[in-house]
Amino acid sequence: MDESSLKSLLDGVRSGATGVDEALEKLRDLPFEDLGFARLDNHRSLRTGVAEVLFAPGKTLQQLKSLVEHSVESNAAVLVTRIEGEPARELLGDYPFLRHDPQARILSYRASPLATREGYVAVVTAGTADLSVAREAALTLEFLGDRVEQLSDVGVAGLHRLLPGLKLLRGARAVIVVAGMEGALASVVGGLIDRPVIAVPTSVGYGASFGGLSALLGMLNSCSAGVAVVNIDNGFGAACFAHLV
Amino acid sequence: MDESSLKSLLDGVRSGATGVDEALEKLRDLPFEDLGFARLDNHRSLRTGVAEVLFAPGKTLQQLKSLVEHSVESNAAVLVTRIEGEPARELLGDYPFLRHDPQARILSYRASPLATREGYVAVVTAGTADLSVAREAALTLEFLGDRVEQLSDVGVAGLHRLLPGLKLLRGARAVIVVAGMEGALASVVGGLIDRPVIAVPTSVGYGASFGGLSALLGMLNSCSAGVAVVNIDNGFGAACFAHLV
Amino acid sequence: MDESSLKSLLDGVRSGATGVDEALEKLRDLPFEDLGFARLDNHRSLRTGVAEVLFAPGKTLQQLKSLVEHSVESNAAVLVTRIEGEPARELLGDYPFLRHDPQARILSYRASPLATREGYVAVVTAGTADLSVAREAALTLEFLGDRVEQLSDVGVAGLHRLLPGLKLLRGARAVIVVAGMEGALASVVGGLIDRPVIAVPTSVGYGASFGGLSALLGMLNSCSAGVAVVNIDNGFGAACFAHLV
Amino acid sequence: MDESSLKSLLDGVRSGATGVDEALEKLRDLPFEDLGFARLDNHRSLRTGVAEVLFAPGKTLQQLKSLVEHSVESNAAVLVTRIEGEPARELLGDYPFLRHDPQARILSYRASPLATREGYVAVVTAGTADLSVAREAALTLEFLGDRVEQLSDVGVAGLHRLLPGLKLLRGARAVIVVAGMEGALASVVGGLIDRPVIAVPTSVGYGASFGGLSALLGMLNSCSAGVAVVNIDNGFGAACFAHLV
Amino acid sequence: MDESSLKSLLDGVRSGATGVDEALEKLRDLPFEDLGFARLDNHRSLRTGVAEVLFAPGKTLQQLKSLVEHSVESNAAVLVTRIEGEPARELLGDYPFLRHDPQARILSYRASPLATREGYVAVVTAGTADLSVAREAALTLEFLGDRVEQLSDVGVAGLHRLLPGLKLLRGARAVIVVAGMEGALASVVGGLIDRPVIAVPTSVGYGASFGGLSALLGMLNSCSAGVAVVNIDNGFGAACFAHLV
Amino acid sequence: MDESSLKSLLDGVRSGATGVDEALEKLRDLPFEDLGFARLDNHRSLRTGVAEVLFAPGKTLQQLKSLVEHSVESNAAVLVTRIEGEPARELLGDYPFLRHDPQARILSYRASPLATREGYVAVVTAGTADLSVAREAALTLEFLGDRVEQLSDVGVAGLHRLLPGLKLLRGARAVIVVAGMEGALASVVGGLIDRPVIAVPTSVGYGASFGGLSALLGMLNSCSAGVAVVNIDNGFGAACFAHLV
Amino acid sequence: MDESSLKSLLDGVRSGATGVDEALEKLRDLPFEDLGFARLDNHRSLRTGVAEVLFAPGKTLQQLKSLVEHSVESNAAVLVTRIEGEPARELLGDYPFLRHDPQARILSYRASPLATREGYVAVVTAGTADLSVAREAALTLEFLGDRVEQLSDVGVAGLHRLLPGLKLLRGARAVIVVAGMEGALASVVGGLIDRPVIAVPTSVGYGASFGGLSALLGMLNSCSAGVAVVNIDNGFGAACFAHLV
Amino acid sequence: MDESSLKSLLDGVRSGATGVDEALEKLRDLPFEDLGFARLDNHRSLRTGVAEVLFAPGKTLQQLKSLVEHSVESNAAVLVTRIEGEPARELLGDYPFLRHDPQARILSYRASPLATREGYVAVVTAGTADLSVAREAALTLEFLGDRVEQLSDVGVAGLHRLLPGLKLLRGARAVIVVAGMEGALASVVGGLIDRPVIAVPTSVGYGASFGGLSALLGMLNSCSAGVAVVNIDNGFGAACFAHLV
């Protein structure tokens, strides 16, 4: 029940066209959920840019198509994550206005660009193999209207490569650190700057990296204050978080 | 080597008092680390309030005393975390100006209060037993000059208790959610607001909570975007992160 | 040894045709297991509908065929779970009266429908990707003669979508909650209704979801009383349990 | 906002005392949460008996006292779980009408007994050391107005001890199986009866029992349909679930 | 119902004192479990020496006393495992005929010694700290009438100490290998002899030994055929198994 | 250096053909390892039947061929485990006298059958899907000259199917129990018989069975004495152990 | 800023061509990182042979090609690890001077061989299936100018095969032990020699080997002093470590 | 059997006093183990300094006393690790020449100092709480005749504190890095120097540090080549390894 229906109801009460008991009945039945929905919907509009995101895995091509269509119609924008290969090609075939980034595994479209926010988010990677996750973060941020600066291949095995980028990191609104293996880069960056560090462990590694668990634990136990962690390989989540900062 | 010494050196070169080779030698030996230290030190001063924190466990009483003394002298402030019982009493005996909060297990002192930052951080707890960690976060934030609003005992088993607090949460600069057991509160809060949610899993629970592991995994796998996680029971870390946002 | 044989034996003793010692011998050898079997068999007939279920993985096509045939003959019904692709097609070819549901991965047949039980079981899913497990539960319940109501895509990231369904949930005999990632939906539902909640963690997720472990642990640690848990992805087990409630 | 206030408001609109816009404003601000709270409160009253339970660990004696007092006043009943030693003695001293069961670690009081529900719940234990958890379940059930039948020390190492109790188990509304070590009893019972089996793994055992993890995993992987599991040592949770069945 | 009662019943049928239907009724009610019990009891008597063992942890002193008393009366023997300190002293006070071994944490008594079995079981330990578990195994074996030969402190860090004992090991009916840390001794012994090796991982170690998990996994993955494993620190279980070989 | 060479040496010393110092030199250089090898070789010959076993995974086809050839030549027998598909077909092509069992994934050959040992080993399986591992055990035992009796599909979900087989189990020299999921069958069997039970957890199951870990832990924590465990799916290892009993 | 530029700057100050303030400005801006880089670069040249190693997984063919090209140009040498199949063939096609070892999955090239270091590193393997990892270690060592001696198939299941190689092991500068399953070989070797043992757990095994975890834990808990461990399957890392010894 | 006995034997053969068969018999019985023992014993004397170390936990005071006494007598030196409190005081009372270091938990004695080896081992710690483990390593090294240089409190949260120590690290024969929490310091040090880095994870930390597991995994997954790891808190093991380098 939106506000104008509510106003009509009250107008009816006022004019006598609707009895008080009848109105009371309608209000009593006023679905909890609809009121809730309305309020949450307002809230949702505040989060424009996050709402129309689709996580592709586990969805059928048919479901994806109808969700893309619906999102493009309602929001004039859509972001599909973790999509590649055949499904990506199919969607690109049907909706040629979509842009596909194979490394980030992202399909996106926005009719008119958002006003770019002030400042930027820095996205730092430890190794070449972390680039896919970093790019997912970067493209998500850009889709949400954030500016991104990337700093690549600055893992702790060659710390000297990180130091020239400190100025860039210190100027950022937030810093996303993407690292696999032991994930030490998050601690090192966290100890060098005073910006919030959002750490993304990646499943890069082998053996005792246990699919990213080692990097995850390393980042959670960071001895540097100012580091928080998202799920393994979750570049999208890190971007959303950084966007809200 | 600070800037004035450097200037003296160059003046000496200019005047001929110092030979080019001699200067070169001095500059070559210019300790990498000292330059680094200087820069980092500047940086450290930017992070005032975090620098003088002491993590008590594993330190002897003697070490704690000298560190407290040193920090009070240099920073006119000190924050000791995870301190209780005998060591707390001993320090309070020697430094009666310290304030001890037994629930938060924090000893703190600040000669002159920091200017309070605009806005506030909301600290939300799921159950009574999470209050100790929440209070560690809250006191740390206040020590750093942040204003804090707390919302307690709003776990998902009684969701209706959370809803009246939504306005408070939506108005915060950042929201810290402290929850043990399954940690579901972080996801629920993250789905209702558009502020960054910093989730602190606690070791509250028993059996398959495995000392906070369940809450930790739950929070990392949050289906709500905008949630990042710190270590189990790490109220201090969540506060530092929130402070940097 | 069934009751009529036993009576014959006693008649023989009575008439003198069978000596006491001979009878004693027969009774002493009375197979433990056969008596047991008889009793358990009665019991088994009480559970009609569960007995003829086949779990397909690890069985050869040949084994499946003969088991299906035997079950159809004895029970005029059969339910094969976790069956898809080639084996499903083969069985459908041979037994065209079977009905296959690819999403639920179930093959089923019942000659004459069971009388439908009073009331219904609600099956709730958090996300689109949980639908396969939910459908396994729903089809199993229907096969067992239960009525099912489904509520889909009401994960905690968008809690407002759950609220309109509360009435439906509160009217159910039991509620099955199917959720992956952090599995928080079970706690939330458990806190809102007073019906038994059977939680099914799913392997939906990535990274630190560890194949459903996070959802499983979350559900086991639910802060809501009235939640019990079955194995990861075990829609069938949840349905059997709900059927027995 | 309860119904009578709502009626007053509409009456004001009707009479013209309240303008439509003013009413609209009031309705728009109609707190989501209060409506929700009202509905949930109704719901809560349906769950009488579960609502006034206190989980003691992590609560201070002072908190416990005020919660007990409040619960006794509002509900004329209270159940405190996991309470023993000094805190139990303190509460008993202040509230001598409470009854304490040291094995179950439960303090309880109910002014006037609930009408006993028809049927009974069977509580089965594998070994002597599981009795504490079983008793927590039994006392909780009795507090909630359920009748309980116990069957003790019938672990699978001596299966013959279980068989005489089958009749009792088959007659129950639900069966709670409490077992540590490998937890096999739940599967065995589940295979013998057609009642819902609520399995409670206990932390009884040593070595590779890993604090109840082995029993938990064993129960989750039960090859018997009709078994669902609650948290390790969670006799209370099993009782609540059985109560709802 | 034992055999003589059964005979009386049949005699009654024979003489006409008991009607066939009445007898049938009695036989039909003949408890499944009692027949079972009888058979199992026979079986139990075959296992003399194992039946009267009590696992002390989790039992109250009162329970222990009555169980000891009962076992001594019925079996003229008793073995209590994992008992030390106060409870051991209490039991020794009441039953001075018991023998207590503090290292093995065993209380035992046997009125008249069993005939010693032919052959012997070898019990091998890796380090001094494994002796307690080894002694539990040795005393259990002796209680069961087995002869034991011990070989101590022959861990793989000093392999040369093992070699002189090979003859002893090769002559044994079975070999129990007790080892903590990496548990490699089981593999080494298994590779050198052709007797069944029963490996007991111990919780001896620290850090990544994870309470015996490393030794357990090492033993399970033994590259030597002929090695089977019991639970961590389970000297008693190894002894029972060796006794049955 | 075998015994006849040693004799020649001594004969040389005796005859004066070899000087004492020369002999001493030869003996001093007598390789530690060769002596050892000799002894171990004797030992190896005692274990005939185990020595010529090849574990196929990780070996190239070329390696397998030469090892098979060598083993057939030296031992007139060979047993290859875990071999299927292409490599099995290749070996069968080259060595048509080999016998392949696809379910057990075993290739075997023995020129002249071993004398069959007295008694038999019982191999029990919980479900149809455990048959492959059970067959690996059975064929290995037969290869080693043991007689095998199998009892299939007697999992604890239908305990009555196990009871008729008790006599068979009690008559065996040793019992191998093969079970996945919760592995409860090992405990149940161990509680019913007085023969050593060798438990083989299988990777059969899904979700929280974690590739056999649940069954493994369940079996290790068996509350029945007389149960020892081998690695997951290790039918071969169980057979070797049973053979040595 | 290298030394000659620095000298020019000082010369300019000396001559008056550069003002002190201007020089100060340049020195103040003297990038922390560049100085650092210079120092680290010197350091890097000391580690010649390690610097030009490429880890192939996660890199595109295009990236690999350009990195190989760059490394060959700068270092006249390159070592690519974990490369096989199509990418290996592609690189061999383009750079026919590369040498590919399929077992070690290594592509390498060195224009002029390094002077061979004195002494050698021994590489010991437990089983045939560990050879791939061992060869990665051996080829890496040879690439770095080390001499290698291999000892293969000397697992603890046949300890007598190890003993003849002891002399070789005791003569080595360092010993790399490559073993899967329970990884006991590292402890055994560590107990027999006084050279540093670098243990490489491999993922060889099945069931409870958990992808090398068992071997890893076994090696970390080695009861032999003088054993240190690298990541699972990390033959390259072991070689680098041994090279630095 | 030592060489002179062997010579006597051969002399006897030569002279005819001993028959060939008799000699053969003696040689055949020549204990494998004794020969082995002799050789290994020589080897043991090569490792002087490691052999006389006692690991205190799990040993009784009586055992410790006799072991200390024996070691002092045979080696004129002893090192007892992990000893503190009452046992330490008792041993100091009886053997006042022992030196106890409470932080390192080491009791040691050496009659005459070993010649100090050339070079030194650097021992680096991340935080104050790691000092105990570091000191165990340092004292062990000094006991073995190594010179030690310590660098303390240089964790990655304050990287600038590490840089001044680089020269010290680069000059060391080997570097031991002791760090808890995320253990990142090992990777950082490994990336900056070309000396072998022996990483010791410590159990310092809380929450998801899981008793040192996070640091352990971090160090094993180090992206820096040249890092090997010992067990959690195993300062002694790291020292032994460094000593052998």
> What does the pLDDT look like over B35-92, one tens digit per residue?
332 233 333 333 334 556 888 888 888 888 888 888 888 778 889 999 999 999 999 9
Asked whether B and E share 3 or more beta-carbon pairs under 8 angstroms, the answer is no
Query: What pLDDT is stored for residue C50 in this prediction?
Result: 56
Judge whether F157 is closer than 8 Å to chain D, CB to CB. Answer: yes
Average pLDDT, chain H: 82
Average pLDDT, chain C: 83
Judge if C138 and C90 occupy the same domain.
no
Distance of CA F167 to the CA centre of its chain: 26
Q: Report pLDDT digits (tens) over H186-199.
A: 998 988 888 999 99
Residues in C touching F129 (Cβ below 8 Å): 57-59
| Residues recorded for chain B | 245
Judge whether H125 is closer than 8 Å to chain A, CB to CB. Answer: no
Phi, psi angles (nearest 5°) of residue H65:
-60, -45
Query: What pLDDT is stored for residue A27 in this prediction?
Result: 65
Residues 6 or more apart in contact with residue B158 via CB below 8 angstroms: C191, D40
ipTM here: 0.80
Residues in E touching G220 (Cβ below 8 Å): 182, 207-208, 214
The torsion region of residue G180 among left (phi > 0), alpha (psi -120 to 50) and beta comes to beta
Point out the residue among G160, G206, G208 whose CB comes nearest to the CB of F36.
G160
Across B190-194, D184-188, H84-88, H153-157, least confident range: H153-157
Residues in B touching G6 (Cβ below 8 Å): 24, 27-28
Rounded Cα–Cα distance for residues G196 and F47 (Å): 36
Instruction: Give E47's DSSP letter.
Output: T
Q: Does the pLDDT of residue E165 top 80, yes or no?
A: yes
Q: Residue F76's CB: how many other CB atoms inside 10 A?
A: 12
Across A177-191, B13-27, C189-203, H76-90, least confident range: B13-27
pTM for this model (two decimals): 0.84
Nearest C-alpha neighbor of C221 from the set C201, C235, C207, C240 = C201
Distance of CA F54 to the CA centre of its chain: 10
CB A205 within 8 A of CB A214: yes
Q: Pick from D63, D78, D110: which residue ends a domain?
A: D110
Pick the residue with more confidence: G217 or A164? G217
Point out the residue among D159, D182, D213 whose CB comes nearest to the CB of F222.
D182
Judge if F95 and F134 occupy the same domain.
no
Judge if F94 and F148 occupy the same domain.
no
* Beta strand E53-55 pairing with E77-81: parallel
Point out the residue among C129, C158, C163 whose CB comes nearest to the CB of A57.
C129
Grouping H, G, I as helix, E, B as strand and the rest as coil, residue E196 is: coil
Residue G78: strand pairing partners: G109
The CA–CA distances, whole Å, from E68 to E64, E91, E98, H80 equal 6, 9, 10, 42
Judge if A217 and A128 occupy the same domain.
yes
Domain with residue A129: its CATH number is 3.40.50.1970
Instruction: Give D22's DSSP letter.
Output: H
| Residues recorded for chain F | 245
Q: Which domain holds residue B146?
A: 121-244
Judge if B163 and B68 occupy the same domain.
no
Residues 6 or more apart in contact with residue A113 via CB below 8 angstroms: A145
Q: Which of residues 166-205 of G touch H (CB under 8 A)?
A: 170, 174, 192-196, 198
CB G116 within 8 A of CB G146: yes
Planar angle of CA H17, H23, H25, nearest 5 degrees: 140
* Beta strand C227-229 pairing with D53-55: unpaired
Judge if C138 and C238 occupy the same domain.
yes
As a whole number, mean pLDDT of residues D4-26 equals 79
The number of domains in chain E is 2
Residues in D touching F214 (Cβ below 8 Å): 214, 217-218, 220-221
Q: Residue D24's CB: how many other CB atoms inside 10 A?
A: 18
Judge if C235 and C125 occupy the same domain.
yes
Query: What pLDDT is stored for residue B50 in this prediction?
Result: 56
In a domain, H196, yes or no: yes
- Side chain identity at A29, as an amino acid letter? D
Query: What pLDDT is stored for residue H98 in this prediction?
Result: 94
Point out the residue among B7, B23, B28 whose CB comes nearest to the CB of G24.
B7
Judge if H39 and H70 occupy the same domain.
yes
Q: Does the pLDDT of residue C191 top 80, yes or no?
A: yes
The CA–CA distances, whole Å, from C58 to C89, F131, F199, H142 equal 17, 9, 20, 61
CB A92 within 8 A of CB A86: no
Residues 6 or more apart in contact with residue G19 via CB below 8 angstroms: G13
Point out the residue among G47, G198, G225 whose CB comes nearest to the CB of H50.
G225
In a domain, D4, yes or no: no
Query: What pLDDT is stored for residue E16 in this prediction?
Result: 86
Query: What pLDDT is stored for residue H97 in this prediction?
Result: 94
Q: Does the pLDDT of residue G122 top 90, yes or no?
A: yes
Q: Which of residues 8-47 of D touch C (CB under 8 A)?
A: 36, 39-40, 43, 46-47
Q: Pick from C110, C130, C151: which residue ends a domain?
A: C110
As a whole number, mean pLDDT of residues A67-80 equals 84
Q: Report percent pLDDT > 90 for chain G.
A: 42
Residue B227: strand pairing partners: B197
Pick the residue with more confidence: A128 or G92? G92
Query: B131-143 vs B235-244: helix axis angle to the nearest 10?
Result: 40
**3-class secondary structure per residue, chain F:** CCHHHHHHHHHHHHHCCCCHHHHHHHHHHCCHHHHHHHHHHHHHHHCCCCCCEEECCCCCHHHHHHHHHHHHHHHCEEEEECCCHHHHHHHHHHCCCCEEECCCCEEEEECCCCCCCCCEEEEEECCHHHHHHHHHHHHHHHHCCCEEEEECCCCHHHHHHCHHHHHHHHCCCEEEEEECCCCHHHHHHHHHCCCCEEEEECCCCCHHHHHHHHHHHHHHCCCCCCEEECCCCCHHHHHHHHHHC
Work out the pLDDT band at A30, boundaries 50, 70, 90.
Answer: very low
Grouping H, G, I as helix, E, B as strand and the rest as coil, residue G205 is: coil
Contact assignment for G58 to A129 by CB distance below 8 Å: yes
Point out the residue among B13, B28, B39 whose CB comes nearest to the CB of G13.
B13
**Which residue ranges in chain B fall short of pLDDT 50?**
1-2, 28-49
Judge if C87 and C166 occupy the same domain.
no
Pick the residue with more confidence: A109 or F20? A109
Q: Mutate which of A125, A182, A193 to test chain H, going by most H C-beta atoms within 10 A? A: A182
In a domain, H2, yes or no: no
Q: Does the pLDDT of residue H236 top 50, yes or no?
A: yes
Across A82-91, F202-211, G47-56, G195-204, least confident range: G47-56
How far does E242 lie from chain D, in Å, by closest CA?
Answer: 18
From the number of C-beta atoms within 10 Å of its C-beta (0-12, 13-18, 19+), residue B112 rates as: exposed
Query: What pLDDT is stored for residue C2 in this prediction?
Result: 45
In a domain, E3, yes or no: no
A-H contacts (CB, under 8 Å) = 122
Query: What pLDDT is stored for residue D27 in this prediction?
Result: 65
How far does H235 lie from chain A, in Å, by closest CA?
Answer: 21
End-to-end, the C-alpha distance of chain A in Å comes to 33
Judge if H69 and H106 occupy the same domain.
yes
Rounded Cα–Cα distance for residues F53 and F51 (Å): 6
Q: Pick from C82, C110, C138: which residue ends a domain?
A: C110
Nearest C-alpha neighbor of G87 from the set G55, G110, G111, G109 = G55
Average pLDDT, chain E: 83
Judge whether B159 is closer than 8 Å to chain C, CB to CB. Answer: yes
CB G49 within 8 A of CB G77: yes
Rounded Cα–Cα distance for residues A172 and A148 (Å): 9
Residues 6 or more apart in contact with residue C23 via CB below 8 angstroms: C9, C10, C12, C13, E10
Q: Report pLDDT digits (tens) over E191-217.
A: 888 899 999 999 988 888 888 999 999
Contact assignment for B226 to A238 by CB distance below 8 Å: no
Q: Does the pLDDT of residue G48 top 70, yes or no?
A: no
Q: Does the pLDDT of residue D231 top 70, yes or no?
A: yes
Residues in A touching C211 (Cβ below 8 Å): none
DSSP for E82-137, please give it.
S--HHHHHHHHHH-TT-EEETTTTEEEEESSPPPPPSSEEEEEESSGGGHHHHHHH
- Side chain identity at G159, as an amino acid letter? L
Query: What pLDDT is stored for residue A5 in this prediction?
Result: 64
Point out the residue among C58, C232, C234 whose CB comes nearest to the CB of F128.
C58
How far does A160 lie from chain C, in Å, by closest CA?
Answer: 30
DSSP for chain H, please give it.
--HHHHHHHHHHHHHTSS-HHHHHHHHHHS-HHHHHHHHHHHHHHHTTTTTTEEE-TT--HHHHHHHHHHHHHHHSEEEEES--HHHHHHHHHH-TT-EEETTTTEEEEESSPPPPPSSEEEEEESSGGGHHHHHHHHHHHHHTT-EEEEE-S--GGGGGGTGGGHHHHHTSSEEEEEE-TT-HHHHHHHHH-SS-EEEEE-S---GGGGGGHHHHHHHHT-SSTTEEE--TT-HHHHHHHHHH-
Q: Does the pLDDT of residue E175 top 50, yes or no?
A: yes
Nearest C-alpha neighbor of E176 from the set E128, E120, E220, E117 = E120
Query: What pLDDT is stored for residue D161 in this prediction?
Result: 74
Judge if G135 and G94 occupy the same domain.
no
Judge if E157 and E217 occupy the same domain.
yes
Q: Does the pLDDT of residue A9 top 90, yes or no?
A: no
Strand order in the sheet with D53-55: D53-55, D77-81, D106-110, D99-101
Query: What pLDDT is stored for residue B48 in this prediction?
Result: 38
Q: Mutate which of B143, B188, B220 to test chain A, going by most A C-beta atoms within 10 A? A: B220
Q: For chain B, how long is the longest CA-to-CA vector?
A: 80
CB G107 within 8 A of CB G88: yes
Q: Does the pLDDT of residue G242 top 50, yes or no?
A: yes
Across C43-47, C150-154, D108-112, D199-203, least confident range: C43-47
In a domain, H106, yes or no: yes
Q: Does the pLDDT of residue C49 top 60, yes or no?
A: no
Residues in F touching G206 (Cβ below 8 Å): 57, 231-234
Query: What pLDDT is stored for residue E5 in this prediction?
Result: 64
Burial A77-109 (b: 16+ CB within 10 A, else e): bbbbbbbbeebbeebeeeeeebebbeebbbbbb
Q: Residue B2's CB: how many other CB atoms inside 10 A?
A: 10
Query: What pLDDT is stored for residue D59 in this prediction?
Result: 84
Residue A55: strand pairing partners: A81
How far does H191 lie from chain B, in Å, by closest CA?
Answer: 16
Q: Does the pLDDT of residue F38 top 70, yes or no?
A: no
As a whole number, mean pLDDT of residues A215-240 equals 92
Contact assignment for B63 to H128 by CB distance below 8 Å: yes
Q: Report pLDDT digits (tens) over A90-114.
A: 999 999 999 999 999 999 998 887 8
Contact assignment for H157 to A225 by CB distance below 8 Å: yes
Q: Does the pLDDT of residue A10 top 50, yes or no?
A: yes
- H-run or E-run covering D212: none
CB G63 within 8 A of CB A128: yes
Nearest C-alpha neighbor of C31 from the set F166, F192, E2, F152 = F166
As a whole number, mean pLDDT of residues F192-200 equals 91
End-to-end, the C-alpha distance of chain H in Å comes to 34
As a whole number, mean pLDDT of residues E55-68 equals 86
End-to-end, the C-alpha distance of chain G in Å comes to 33
Rounded Cα–Cα distance for residues H243 and H245 (Å): 6
In a domain, H199, yes or no: yes
In a domain, D20, yes or no: no
Chains that touch E (3 or more CB pairs under 8 A): C, D, F, G, H
Pick the residue with more confidence: A214 or F27? A214
In a domain, G163, yes or no: yes
Rounded Cα–Cα distance for residues A223 and E225 (Å): 46
Q: To the nearest 10°, report the CA torsion of F130, F135, F138, F141.
A: -120
As a whole number, mean pLDDT of residues F96-120 equals 90
Average pLDDT, chain F: 83
- H-run or E-run covering E177: strand E174-179
Query: What pLDDT is stored for residue D89 in this prediction?
Result: 95
Residues 6 or more apart in contact with residue C61 via CB below 8 angstroms: C87, C90, C91
As a whole number, mean pLDDT of residues G112-118 equals 81
